[in-house]
């Protein structure tokens, strides 16, 4: 059995989000010797950053997972309640509050260093999510108190005028949740139409009272006034709150320090088996895939299948 002083684990999984927990579940069910290291608490990002009323979307039709891990669209609270039993199934194999400081490979063995110990493993699965900082616009005023980078409780903005900036699903879902309580919701997007929204989000926006401002870019923010360029003309919007839903900047410093090759988005480059340029080091979940829970879960499950095959089990 692997431990901090003895022989190497079969694999060490870094991160206990949906991808890391799915990887741990498969490792346990396949009888592999594994360890999951989590810097905070399991499912921390979902627990702390997802809006209370945000629905967790169901799996796609080709979702390659066991029936007991499949899920239909459900509220955040229901998803967390269900997945609590999954991470508890990992038992002592899950270490919380133990961040990974470094990963080095010597021969065929990885040395994974934390503030508490140094572990050895034949394979490593990086399932850390994005773990970066919110992407900003780089304009004056975006550090004001009424500028937000996530929506925690839509009810807090009842009767307010809100502006959501961005054209992805996070921006769409933020705007849609705000419409339940806000007096008025604007969306600002730099392109002339939405390109990458899930069909259900696009349809919901089209059938909502959200005022979408295409071909627009914010210039500056002063108090409740927002200077905005709309297809070449300057206008001022008066709003109470601004939500910048522009994605997250990956923790490039940590990834580069590990020696990983990164793409233009700062994410690890992987092959069809989710293996990075470092043989035996795999990446799963948001650190490489689109930020969807179903993709992360499937990603974590699949990568352990590949590791099992290489172990000859």
pLDDT of residue 3: 54
pLDDT of residue 57: 67
Whether residue 39 is found in the same domain as residue 111: yes
pLDDT of residue 287: 87
Q: With the CA atoms of 195, 200, 205 and 209 taken in that order, what torsion angle do they form, in degrees rounded to the nearest 10?
A: 170
Whether residue 127 is found in the same domain as residue 265: yes
In whole angstroms, what is the distance from residue 131 CA to residue 52 CA? 21
Residue 206, domain member (yes or no): yes
Whether residue 156 is found in the same domain as residue 108: no
Whether residue 14 is found in the same domain as residue 126: yes
Point out the least confidently predicted range of 36-40, 159-163, 246-250, 266-270: 246-250
Residue 4, domain member (yes or no): no
Whether residue 151 is found in the same domain as residue 212: yes
What count of other Cβ atoms lies within 10 Å of the Cβ of residue 257?
12
pLDDT of residue 265: 80
Whether residue 164 is found in the same domain as residue 230: yes
Q: How confident is the model at residue 23 (pLDDT cuts 50, 70, 90)?
A: very high
Q: Which domain holds residue 184?
A: 134-244
Whether residue 14 is found in the same domain as residue 122: yes
Whether residue 170 is found in the same domain as residue 276: no
Cα dist from 219 to 133, 137, 138, whole Å: 21, 9, 9
Contacts 24+ apart (CB under 8 A), 150-156: 150/49, 150/51, 150/243, 151/51, 151/177, 151/178, 151/243, 152/49, 152/51, 152/52, 153/51, 153/52, 154/51, 154/52, 154/53, 154/178, 154/180, 154/181, 154/182, 155/181
Residue 37 reports pLDDT greater than 70: yes
Whether residue 87 is found in the same domain as residue 109: yes
235-284 tens-digit pLDDT: 999 999 999 999 877 778 889 999 999 998 888 999 999 999 999 999 99
Whether residue 128 is found in the same domain as residue 153: no
In whole angstroms, what is the distance from residue 277 CA to residue 283 CA? 10
Residue 20, domain member (yes or no): yes
Residue 127, domain member (yes or no): yes
Task: Give the start-end residues of each E strand in 68-215.
Answer: 74-75, 94-95, 102-106, 109-113, 118-126, 133-134, 147-148, 161-165, 184-188, 211-213
Residue 1, domain member (yes or no): no
Residue 216, domain member (yes or no): yes
Residue 119, domain member (yes or no): yes
Give how many domains the chain has, as a whole number: 2
Point out the least confidently predicted range of 122-131, 173-182, 206-215: 122-131
Mean of the per-residue pLDDT values for the chain? 90
Query: CATH number, domain at 95?
Result: 3.50.50.60
């Amino acid at each position: 059995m692997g431990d901090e002083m003895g022989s190497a684990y079969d694999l060490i999984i870094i991160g206990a989000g949906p991808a890391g927990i799915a990887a741990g579940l498969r490792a346990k069910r396949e009888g592999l010797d594994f360890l999951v290291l989590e810097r905070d608490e399991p499912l921390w990002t979902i627990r702390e950053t997802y809006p209370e009323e945000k629905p967790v979307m169901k799996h796609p039709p080709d979702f390659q997972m066991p029936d007991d891990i499949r899920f239909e669209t459900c509220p955040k609270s229901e998803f967390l309640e269900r997945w609590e039993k999954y991470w508890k199934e990992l038992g002592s194999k899950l270490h919380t509050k133990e961040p990974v400081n470094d990963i080095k490979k010597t021969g065929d063995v990885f040395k994974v260093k934390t503030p508490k110990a140094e572990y050895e493993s034949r394979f490593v699965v990086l399932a850390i999510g994005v773990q970066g900082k919110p992407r900003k616009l780089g304009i004056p005023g975006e550090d004001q108190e009424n500028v937000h980078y996530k929506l925690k409780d839509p009810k807090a903005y009842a009767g307010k005028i809100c502006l959501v900036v961005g054209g992805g699903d996070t921006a769409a879902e933020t705007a849609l949740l705000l419409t339940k309580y806000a007096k008025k919701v604007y969306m600002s997007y730099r392109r002339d139409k939405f390109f990458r929204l899930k069909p259900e989000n696009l349809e919901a926006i089209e059938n909502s009272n959200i005022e979408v401002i295409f071909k627009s870019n914010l210039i500056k923010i002063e108090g409740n006034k927002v200077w905005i360029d709309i297809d070449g003309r300057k206008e001022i919007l008066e709003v109470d709150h601004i939500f910048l839903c522009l994605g997250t900047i990956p923790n490039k410093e940590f990834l580069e320090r590990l020696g990983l090759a990164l793409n233009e988005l700062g994410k690890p480059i992987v092959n069809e088996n989710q293996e990075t340029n470092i043989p035996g080091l795999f990446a799963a979940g948001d650190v490489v895939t689109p930020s969807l829970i179903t993709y992360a879960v499937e990603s974590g499950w699949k990568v352990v299948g590949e590791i099992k095959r290489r172990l000859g089990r």
